[in-house]
Amino acid sequence: RNRSTMLALILEAFATALGGQPVTWDEPISCHHNYVAEETHAGREVLVTRKGAIRAGKGDMGIIPGSMGTGSYIVRGLGNEDAMCSASHGAGRRMSRNQAKRTFTEAELAEQTAGVECRKDRGVLDEIPGAYKDIADVIARQTDLVEVVHHIKQVVCVKG
């Protein structure tokens, strides 16, 4: 319900910004992670815990994010039963939040997020792109789980 409410508010804000013109778009991709679902796999009713993972059933649309500066992928699930119809939720961290704060500077954060409108202060230093795995490599390692529909590059990233 939260996602649909936010989406309605975004459409309303766009319409207002465009002088009252109605705004529409295709079916939204509502892709969540870190949850438990009752599903049937190998003929058995099971509870699937997706921690850091999304559902990637045959035809399921999903979003696999990179970091604040590397873009994200829109994907379509292939329904791989060996993976319980799952795929990664994102790039995944290369280092802990504390290690990132000790390793990188605000200047490096600004450099790594150049071209993206976002916070570039110490408060989000732990989210620096260098603290994450290479999203292109992560995607390349799951070609048996998802097919890439689009690679998108963010222009705005809101953290905190």
Just list the catalytic residues.
89
Count Cα atoms within 13 angstroms, Cβ side, for 22.
2
CA dist 150 and 144 (Å) reads 17
Q: How many CB atoms lie within 10 A of CB 130?
A: 15
CA dist 112 and 13 (Å) reads 30
In DSSP notation, 135-160 reads HHHHHHTTTTTEEEEEEE--SB----
Q: Which residues contact 135 (CB under 8 A, 6 or more apart)?
A: 64, 65, 66, 67, 70, 71, 72, 73, 90, 91
